[in-house]
């Protein structure tokens, strides 16, 4: 059965997957079965289908995700433009990769479609796929404007908790107001990379450390003993999340007043953190996909599941749609859209790349 890319894309957008992916996963499984494949669902909810020629050759993996951010936005089409939640992130890439998986002619090696349920949240799916699959190359579907993206900063967050001593607000000198140390903390965070961070990366640029949330205080007539400043970290090699969370507490203890306790914790201790990754531009997968897409090779602007695959195989991020355009944000926004012509171009480029590498 021939895979209908545009119809699958329409059904996918019409199927909400911002608050659970079971219905969307069922749609993908039904589609793959209808195309003659036998997908599996693993213990964390990944959908995995493999075409094995039985002949020695590379193992290529096509990866993207089922889930979307909230809120759900309905499907709308205006000529070449399709709008709706997930139209570009990442049901557009999913349609393109599923097209390539179902329709490409391969003569050697293996081709796997591996689709995770939780890229927008915990990313346990991507971590599990990287553990269980042994690819020789990975294409991760995300909105890149059809550019071939070979690198991305890491992404993780954390909390810095300042501890002082509570007191009555009428006598503030009898306590230590934790909020008073927020200013010095924010200034210290701004100096961190200059004094302790990695150098600017030739592909990814400098790391970024941004305070993003403040929590603290209680009754208006009480000096707060505790205040927490949360932050977002965008890392570049060679920094890792483990190394960062070892270095930052030591730095802050030296920079802040000893009158206050300082505790640094990761924001998502139970979830994997996508690390920064870089794939060599001259990798065969990169050059082949760039040739068939006819677009630039560059870094990607957001964190993805590519970081879990990249340590073990050449990995690129590629797909139709944009994170943002001249009018502002696209992915994750109320105006999310993709062009069907770009959907076709993405599918054609991936199909040609797979055929080139597995023929």
Residues 140 and 31 in one domain: yes
CATH code for the domain of 220: 3.30.70.360
> In the structure, what pLDDT confidence band is assigned to residue 270 with cuts at 50, 70 and 90?
confident
Cα–Cα distances in angstroms (integers) from residue 118 to residues 6, 68, 113, in the given order? 24, 9, 16
Residues 195 and 283 in one domain: no
Mean pLDDT value across residues 306-318: 97
**Where are any strands of DSSP class E within 146-201?**
148-152, 154-163, 167-168
> In the structure, what pLDDT confidence band is assigned to residue 206 with cuts at 50, 70 and 90?
very high
Residues 142 and 179 in one domain: no
3-state secondary structure of 91: helix
Neighbours of 87 (CB within 10 A): 32
pLDDT tens, residue by residue, 19-56? 999 999 999 999 999 999 999 999 999 999 999 999 99
pLDDT tens, residue by residue, 279-290? 999 999 999 999
Write out the residue range of the structural domain in which residue 169 sits: 154-266
Mean pLDDT value across residues 141-161: 97
Residues 141 and 10 in one domain: yes
**Is the C-alpha dihedral spanning 271, 186, 207, 318 positive or negative?**
positive
Residues 134 and 280 in one domain: yes
What residues have CB less than 8 Å from 23, skipping those under 6 apart?
A: 15, 16, 17
Residues 13 and 126 in one domain: yes
Residues 13 and 143 in one domain: yes
Residues 196 and 213 in one domain: yes
Inform me whether the pLDDT recorded for 2 exceeds 90. no
pLDDT tens, residue by residue, 133-144? 999 999 999 999
Query: Cα(169)–Cα(179) distance, rounded to whole angstroms?
Result: 13
């Amino acid at each position: 059965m021939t895979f209908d890319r545009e119809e699958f894309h329409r059904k996918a957008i019409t199927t909400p997957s911002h608050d659970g992916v079971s219905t969307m996963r069922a749609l993908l499984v039904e589609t793959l079965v209808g195309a003659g494949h036998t997908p599996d669902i693993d213990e964390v909810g990944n959908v995995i289908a493999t075409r094995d020629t039985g002949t020695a050759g590379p193992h290529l993996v096509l990866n993207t995700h089922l889930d979307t951010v909230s809120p759900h936005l309905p499907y709308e089409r205006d000529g070449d433009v399709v709008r709706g939640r997930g139209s570009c992130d990442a049901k557009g890439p999913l349609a393109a990769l599923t097209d390539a998986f179902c329709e490409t002619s391969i003569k050697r090696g293996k081709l796997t479609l591996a689709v995770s349920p939780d890229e927008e949240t915990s990313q346990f799916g991507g971590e599990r796929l990287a553990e269980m699959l042994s690819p020789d190359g990975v294409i991760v579907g995300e909105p890149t404007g059809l550019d071939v993206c070979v690198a991305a900063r890491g992404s993780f967050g954390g909390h810095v908790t300042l501890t002082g001593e509570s007191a009555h607000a009428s006598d503030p000198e009898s306590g230590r107001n934790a909020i008073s140390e927020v200013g010095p903390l924010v200034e210290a965070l701004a100096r961190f990379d200059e004094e302790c961070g990695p150098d600017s990366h030739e592909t990814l640029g400098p790391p970024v450390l941004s305070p993003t949330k403040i929590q603290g205080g209680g009754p208006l007539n009480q000096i707060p003993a505790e205040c927490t400043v949360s932050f977002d970290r965008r890392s570049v090699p060679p920094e890792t999340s483990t190394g960062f969370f070892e270095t930052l507490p030591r730095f802050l203890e030296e920079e802040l007043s000893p009158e206050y306790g300082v505790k640094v914790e990761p924001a998502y201790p139970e979830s994997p953190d996508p690390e920064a990754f870089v794939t060599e531009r001259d990798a065969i997968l990169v050059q082949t996909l760039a040739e068939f897409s006819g677009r630039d090779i560059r870094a990607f602007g957001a964190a993805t599941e590519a970081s879990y695959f990249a340590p073990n195989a050449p990995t690129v991020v590629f797909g139709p749609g944009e994170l943002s355009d001249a009018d502002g944000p696209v992915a994750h926004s109320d105006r999310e859209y993709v062009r069907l012509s770009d959907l076709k171009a993405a599918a054609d480029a991936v199909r040609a790349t797979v055929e080139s590498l597995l023929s």
